[in-house]
Structures are given as structure tokens and as C-alpha cells.
Amino acid sequence: MKLEKDISLKPYNTFGVDVKAHQFISVRNEEELEGILKRFYASELFVLGGGSNMLLTQNISKTVLHINLKGIEVLEETGNYVIVKAAAGENWHEFVLFCLENNYGGLENLSLIPGNVGTSPIQNIGAYGVELKDVMEYCETINRQTLSKKTFYTKDCQFGYRDSIFKSKFKNQFIITSVTFKLSKNQHKLHLDYGSIQKELEANSIDSPTIQDVSKAVISIRESKLPNPKDIGNSGSFFKNPVVSHSVLETLQNDFPNLPYYKIDDNSVKLPAGWLIERTGLKGYRDGDAGVHKQQALVLVNYGKASGKDIKDLAEHIRKAVKAKFNIELETEVNIF
């Protein structure tokens, strides 16, 4: 463990924004993590996971604590299911691939999501009809102030759409050190309802898909719409899909009869922010090196040298355009620093 000074955070954020960390420490195990938490006050640290859900708009004057804890462990196994624990610093997609290689089912729809295992509960990552809350058993954490360890079971996490207790009541209070999953070993329950998965499988003439087939379908859909951060900097969906009441939906439908929506409950629906942004004419828009992705308007991209501020300004421009056209306030999904 080494304390580095004045390093660029460009390799540590998927937007590829070039800001500096005044001090940087990467911890590889819990002992190192505890050592750092003892040495620094919580307020002196900036905790960094996979850097896939953040937009850095300025140099970081705090000490950046990079959570790089590694390890995957099978804790329990029966004929039907397996309990697997992954350390927070494991790359999410590599962990999904490990599970697929071992024929552990449950994570296939979450293939190719950027980021690390440890940040997956914070925003309850989700895609193609599955959310983290559906597969997580518990996550283990350490309190940043008291250093005491606490296990959060799924029911304790107040999971919602891109939301959890770690974003609200306990924001910045805990560091997640590992996440433990319950996965199937046979009779996998497949989630194919999300329109394009079924279509993708049919296009490949697969009628009894395996979990590996579902993963391949998800990867192919994602690759067709979402830019790979290794090629073009981005943070996935920049905004959340807004949740509105049925009466707001009805008013909007008068002017936009083709507006797609997903029912959440009897009171509310979710609107696709990508659809709203596309109708403002901003899909594919580019201002310098900051842009709106050509294939998916919900994703903002860094074509190379955009600063965090350039991307933040573009996001503000989009928010204003959506507000003006639909009277809807978009909320960012990405955390802006």
C-alpha cells in the first residue's frame, strides 16, 4: 500500500475525465482498509470504487481511497443453489463471467454493466428486468467513523429503482467490503420478458436458452446501444428514468400519443428519459468533446478531451430542453463531484 501524490484520476473513472487527486491510496484487503480508516478522519477521504457512476468536475483535494479488495469465495453449496461472496473491488462483469462459467444463474441479465461489485448495492444496479436486490443475500460493510462492521441483508437496504439506504439515510457512512449472492445451480429462472432479449434470442434461433445464451443476448443488445467506456468515455445512463403520476402521463399523452411508459404501481409510471431527450432533438448532439450518444440519448459521452464541467454543462442543457418541452425535471443518476 503506497500513498501517491498528484496523480491523474483519468484511468479510474469511466468518463475518462482528467482531474488530479492530491493524494491517492489503493487498499487491497480489509486490514489495509482499516489502517487507512484509523489514520484519516472520514471527512478527509474520498471513496472511489469502479468509477463508473461518477462525473468528476474538479481536482480532488481529499485523499482518494481506492477500494481494490479482491476475492471470490463459495460459502455454501447445495444441489440447487450456491452462496457466493465477492469482494468489493472485483470487477462486476468479470464476476458475472465467473458465475456463468460455473453455471451459477441469476446474474446473466446484468452482464456487461461497468463498475465494481462493491458499488452495485449503492444504486441497486439493474438491467433487462433484473435488479441487484433480486440476487443479493447481504452485503458486508465497515462504518467509516467507528470502524465497526455491519451486515446489511437485502431487506435492510431499502432498495428502490436505482436507490438504496446507502444513497439516503446512510450516505457516505459505510464502505461496502463484499457482496454475497444466492444463485441457482439448476432449473435457472430466466427473465426474458424485456422485449429485445426475446427478439435477440429468436434472431439467433435459440428457443431453449441457457443462462449463457441470455448473457450473450444481453451483451449483444448492450454493445449495439451503449458505448464501451474503453473506446468512448461514459457512465451509462446519465439520468434516471423519471417517475410520474398517471395524471401527468395522461396530460403528456394528449400531445405525445406514442410516449412509451412502464407501469410501476396504481399511482405511478416510469417514462424513458432517452425517449424524451431524443424528442428534444438532442440525440447525437455534440458540443466540443462532450456529446449525447448517437444510439442511446440517455448516455452522455466524452469523445476525448471533454472536462467534467463540459459534460455537466451539456447535462444542464438537456435538462432545460426536456423541462421546456415536457415540463419534466430529469434527475441525474450519475454522482457529480
Active site residues: 162, 237, 333
Q: Would you give the DSSP letter of residue 163?
A: B
Instruction: In whole angstroms, give the CA distance from residue 325 to residue 109.
Output: 33
User: Which of 76, 331 has the CB closer to ligand EPU?
Assistant: 331
**Rounded to 5 degrees, what are φ and ψ at 296?**
-155, 105
DSSP string of 198-209?
Answer: HHHHHHTT-SS-
CB of 222 to ligand EPU, least distance (A): 7
DSSP string of 31-71?
Answer: HHHHHHHHHS-GGGEEEESS--SEE--S-EEEEEEEE----
> Is the Cβ–Cβ distance between 15 and 56 less than 8 Å?
yes
> Left, alpha or beta for 129 (phi > 0: left; psi -120 to 50: alpha)?
left
Enumerate binding residues for ligand EPU (CB under 6 A): 127-128, 225-226, 236-237, 240-241, 260, 272, 274-275, 278, 283, 296-298, 333
CB of 303 to ligand EPU, least distance (A): 18
Tell how far CA 302 is from the center of its chain.
Answer: 18
User: Which of 170, 285 has the CB closer to ligand EPU?
Assistant: 285
Q: Which residue lies nearest ligand EPU, judged by its C-beta? A: 236
CB of 87 to ligand EPU, least distance (A): 23
Q: What angle do CA 199, 205, 209 make, to 5 degrees?
A: 80
> Is the Cβ–Cβ distance between 116 and 95 less than 8 Å?
no
User: Which of 134, 140 has the CB closer to ligand EPU?
Assistant: 134
User: Which of 85, 222 has the CB closer to ligand EPU?
Assistant: 222
> Is the Cβ–Cβ distance between 72 and 90 less than 8 Å?
yes
User: Which of 53, 141 has the CB closer to ligand EPU?
Assistant: 53
